[in-house]
């Protein structure tokens, strides 16, 4: 079995991208404590890290673009809306990308999301836990 060579792999990736290698890879993830569903919006960008983060900050401030996302297979109704809470940036020399940016989202209406995607029983359990926390 041959040993993995990260340098050969990076060269292969660059060729696959036609030497137009994206600089940023970004992922959309649910915040801990919010309904954990796979979210729309993962991707790559050729923008610099600084430009990408400025765009994200502007989106959040203006409540546009990447400020919102939805679960995969969503009909994009208001009850499915997840809102951007913040992000983490990971950089390193072992990647083809300049950075990995993880965008964290919370469900605006967690009870409705749980009910719609996970069923009435789990939605009721969630509601009871929330009431217990408030009391």
Sign of the CA dihedral running 112, 106, 63, 21: negative
Dist CA 97 CA 44 (whole Å): 9
Question: pLDDT tens digits, the chain, 135 residues: what are they?
Answer: 568 888 888 888 888 888 688 999 999 999 998 999 999 999 999 999 999 999 999 999 999 999 999 999 999 999 999 999 999 999 988 788 899 999 999 999 999 999 999 999 999 988 888 888 777
Give the domain ranges of the chain: 6-108
Dist CA 72 CA 69 (whole Å): 9
């Amino acid at each position: 079995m041959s040993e993995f060579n990260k340098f050969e792999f990076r060269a292969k990736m660059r060729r696959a991208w036609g030497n137009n290698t994206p600089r940023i890879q970004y992922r959309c993830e649910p915040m801990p404590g919010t309904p954990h569903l796979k979210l729309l919006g993962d991707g790559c960008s050729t923008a610099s890290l600084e430009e990408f983060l400025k765009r994200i900050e502007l989106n959040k401030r203006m409540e546009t673009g990447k400020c919102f996302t939805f679960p995969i297979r969503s009909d994009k109704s208001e009850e499915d809306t997840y809102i951007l809470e913040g992000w983490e940036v990971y950089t390193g020399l072992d990647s083809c990308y300049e950075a990995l940016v993880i965008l964290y989202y919370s469900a605006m209406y967690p009870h409705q999301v749980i009910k719609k995607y996970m069923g009435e029983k789990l939605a009721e359990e969630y509601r009871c836990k929330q009431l217990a926390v408030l009391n």
